[in-house]
C-alpha cells in the first residue's frame, strides 16, 4: 500500500512568504504613526513598524525582528525628512532606549498621546467624555528625578560598561549627559563611570539608581561585600555631590548613614512624603504635583465626606485628600508601602487617614473597610488596571470617581465596565509624565447617574 505524504507542514491557502531576515535594509515610505510613536509602512502585504521615523518620510530601515506579517525595524537613514522633524536634544537619541520621540516636536508628541487615548476609549469602551481636558504638562527636558544606570563587567574586554540600555537591545550605551534628568543629578551621572572604574571589584557591581527629592541620593547594587577602601571612595564621591549613599547587597536597600531619609514635597499642601529606594515614586515631580491638584479639583471632595483611595502607595493622593475631607480610607497591596504611608500621615499630623493592605487584583467582597460606603473614590492602579475592583464599584455608593491611569488600554476596558454600571464619563485628558517618550498617562472623571 502506498504511503501518503504528510500534509502537516504544507501551508494552507497558497505559497508561504519568505521570512524577512534580521539585519536586512529596506527603503520605506512611512504612511502614519502608530500609538507608540513608530512609523508605519506597508510593503508586500506586511506592516512595518519603524522606530525613529515620521509620517510622510522616506527612510532606510534595518530589520530588528519579523514574525508573520509584522516587521519591526529602526530607521538608520532619513532620505526624505518630514517638515516636522527636529534635531534631538540628546546626542544619544536613537541609540539609547530611554527617549524615543526627541525627533518629534513636543506639541506633536502631546497630539499623538491624545489620539492614542481617544482611540482606545472609543474602540474598547465605545465612549467619549463630555469634555476633553487640556493636556497636563511640565518641562520637556530636565524633569526626571530618578533613573536606573546599567552597569556590566565586560569579561572579554576587561572593562566596566556604564550607561543606559540601548533601544531594542541589551547593549549598554555610554552616556556622558542626559538632558531629561533634573539638574542636580546630571553632574553625578557625568562623574559616575570614572568612580565605578576605581572600585576594587567591578565584577561585583550591579546597577546604580539616582534619586532627587528633598535630597539627592545614589543607590549601588552589589553582589559581593564592598571593601573599606571602596566604601570610602563612594562616601567621598557622595559627599562631593551632596548626595546620600544607599547600598543594596543581599537584603533590602539600606542607607550608609542610618538616620538618612529620602523624601519629596507636595508644596501646595505643605506635605513631605518619605520613601525608600524600591518604592514607587512618580519620576516627574512637577507633573505629579499638578496631577494631584487636578485630581482633587475633579473629585471635588467636600468637608465631612468619606473618600476611598485605592492603590494609595505612599499617600501621594491620600494625604492631600485628608486635608479636605472628614475621613480617607487608603488601600494598597504592598504591606511595606502601607507602613510607610502610615508613617507619612503621622509625620504630617493627619489623624483622619486609615490605611489597609489588600490584594486589589481580587474582588472586594467582605472587605471590612468597604462596608460603610464612600462619597467619592480615587484609583491609581498599575498598568494592569483595576478590573476586579471596578466590577464591584457600584456597591460602594460613590457618586464621583477619578481614575488615574498609566495604560490607556486598561483604562478603556475599565471605563466600559463603569459605564455599564451607570457611571458617565464626564472628563478625560492626558498627563505628560514622560516627555520625549510615547508613554501615555491619563485621568478620567466618572459621575453616577
380: annotated binding-site residue? yes
Helices 106-120 and 408-420 sit at what angle, rounded to 10 degrees?
A: 40
| 312 is an active site residue | no
- By the 8 A CB rule, do 382 and 311 touch? yes
Question: Is 238 labelled a binding residue?
Answer: no
The answer to whether the beta carbons of residues 251 and 233 sit under 8 Å apart is: no
* CA distance linking residue 32 with residue 22, whole number of Å: 23
Could you say which DSSP state residue 221 is in?
Answer: E
316 is in an annotated binding site: yes
State yes or no: 311 annotated in a binding site.
Answer: yes
Rounded CA-CA distance 210/283 in Å is 11
Label residue 44 exposed, middle or buried (CB < 10 Å: 0-12, 13-18, 19+): exposed
282 carries a ligand binding annotation? yes
279 labeled binding residue = no
Q: 356 has which bridge partners?
A: 331
Q: What's the order of all strands across the beta sheet hosting 306-310?
A: 131-132, 423-431, 441-448, 400-405, 376-379, 306-310, 327-332, 353-357
Tell me the HSE value of 275 on the side-chain side, using a 13 A CA sphere: 24
Provide the β-strand partners of residue 332: 357
Q: How far, in Å, CA of 416 to CA of 410, rounded?
A: 10
Q: Is 29 annotated as a binding residue?
A: no
Q: Is 312 annotated as a binding residue?
A: no
Q: Which of 29, 238, 312, 406 is catalytic?
A: 406
Q: With beta carbons less than 8 A apart as the criterion, state whether 73 and 61 touch.
A: yes
99 in a known ligand binding site: yes
**Residue 315: CB atoms within 10 Å:** 30
Cα(396)–Cα(93) distance, rounded to whole angstroms?
A: 48
Closest to 213 (Cα-Cα) out of 314, 139, 321, 286: 286
**Helix 228-240 crosses helix 186-196 at what angle (to 10 degrees)?**
160
Contact 177, 217 (CB under 8 A): no
H/E run at residue 150: strand 146-154
- Residue 36 sits at the vertex; the CA angle it makes with 35 and 38, to the nearest 5 degrees, is 100
Q: Give the CA distances from residue 145 to residues 16, 107, 366, in Å, rounded to whole numbers and listed in that order.
A: 50, 23, 40
Contacts of 113 (CB under 8 A, 6+ apart): 135, 430, 432, 438, 440
- The binding site for [4Fe-4S] cluster consists of 90, 96, 99, 178
User: Which residues participate in catalysis according to the annotation?
Assistant: 406
- The binding site for S-adenosyl-L-methionine consists of 282, 311, 316, 332, 359, 380
- The binding site consists of 90, 96, 99, 178, 282, 311, 316, 332, 359, 380
Amino acid at each position: 500500500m502506498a504511503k501518503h505524504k504528510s500534509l502537516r507542514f504544507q501551508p494552507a491557502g497558497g505559497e508561504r512568504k519568505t521570512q524577512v531576515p534580521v539585519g536586512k535594509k529596506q527603503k520605506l515610505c512611512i504612511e502614519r504613526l502608530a500609538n507608540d510613536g513608530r512609523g508605519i509602512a506597508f510593503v508586500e502585504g506586511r506592516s512595518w513598524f519603524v522606530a525613529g521615523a515620521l509620517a510622510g518620510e522616506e527612510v532606510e530601515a534595518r530589520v530588528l525582528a519579523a514574525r508573520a506579517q509584522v516587521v519591526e525595524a529602526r530607521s538608520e537613514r532619513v532620505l526624505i525628512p518630514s517638515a516636522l522633524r527636529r534635531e534631538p536634544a540628546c546626542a544619544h537619541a536613537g541609540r539609547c532606549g530611554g527617549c524615543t520621540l526627541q525627533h518629534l516636536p513636543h506639541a506633536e508628541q502631546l497630539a499623538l498621546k491624545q489620539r492614542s487615548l481617544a482611540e482606545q476609549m472609543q474602540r474598547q469602551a465605545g465612549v467619549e467624555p463630555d469634555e476633553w481636558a487640556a493636556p497636563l504638562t511640565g518641562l520637556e527636558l530636565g524633569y526626571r528625578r530618578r533613573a536606573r544606570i546599567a552597569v556590566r563587567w565586560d569579561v572579554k574586554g576587561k572593562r566596566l560598561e556604564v550607561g543606559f540600555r540601548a533601544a531594542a537591545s541589551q547593549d549598554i550605551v555610554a552616556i556622558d549627559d542626559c538632558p531629561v534628568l533634573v539638574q542636580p543629578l546630571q553632574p553625578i551621572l557625568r562623574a559616575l563611570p570614572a568612580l565605578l572604574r576605581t572600585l576594587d571589584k567591578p565584577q561585583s557591581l550591579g546597577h546604580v539608581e539616582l534619586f532627587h527629592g528633598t535630597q539627592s541620593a545614589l543607590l549601588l547594587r552589589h553582589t559581593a561585600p564592598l571593601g573599606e577602601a571602596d566604601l570610602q571612595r563612594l562616601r567621598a564621591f557622595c559627599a562631593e555631590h551632596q548626595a546620600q549613599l544607599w547600598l543594596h547587597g543581599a537584603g533590602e536597600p539600606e542607607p550608609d548613614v542610618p538616620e538618612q531619609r529620602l523624601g519629596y514635597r507636595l508644596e501646595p499642601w505643605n506635605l513631605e512624603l518619605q520613601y525608600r529606594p524600591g518604592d514607587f515614586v512618580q519620576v516627574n515631580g512637577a507633573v505629579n504635583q499638578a496631577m494631584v491638584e487636578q485630581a482633587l479639583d475633579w473629585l471635588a471632595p467636600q468637608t465631612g465626606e468619606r473618600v476611598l483611595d485605592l492603590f494609595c502607595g505612599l499617600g501621594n493622593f491620600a494625604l492631600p485628600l485628608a486635608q479636605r475631607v472628614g475621613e480617607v480610607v487608603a488601600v494598597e497591596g504592598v504591606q511595606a508601602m502601607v507602613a510607610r504611608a502610615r508613617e507619612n500621615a503621622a509625620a504630617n499630623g493627619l489623624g483622619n487617614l486609615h490605611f489597609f493592605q489588600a490584594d486589589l487584583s481580587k474582588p472586594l467582597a467582605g472587605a471590612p473597610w468597604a462596608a460603610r460606603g464612600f462619597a467619592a473614590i480615587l484609583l491609581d492602579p498599575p498598568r494592569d488596571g483595576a478590573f476586579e475592583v471596578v466590577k464591584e464599584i457600584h456597591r460602594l455608593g460613590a457618586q464621583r470617581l477619578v481614575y488615574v491611569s498609566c495604560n490607556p488600554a486598561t483604562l478603556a476596558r475599565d471605563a466600559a465596565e463603569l459605564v455599564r454600571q451607570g457611571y458617565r464619563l464626564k472628563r478625560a485628558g492626558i498627563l505628560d509624565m514622560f516627555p520625549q517618550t510615547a508613554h501615555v498617562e491619563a485621568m478620567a472623571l466618572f459621575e453616577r447617574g
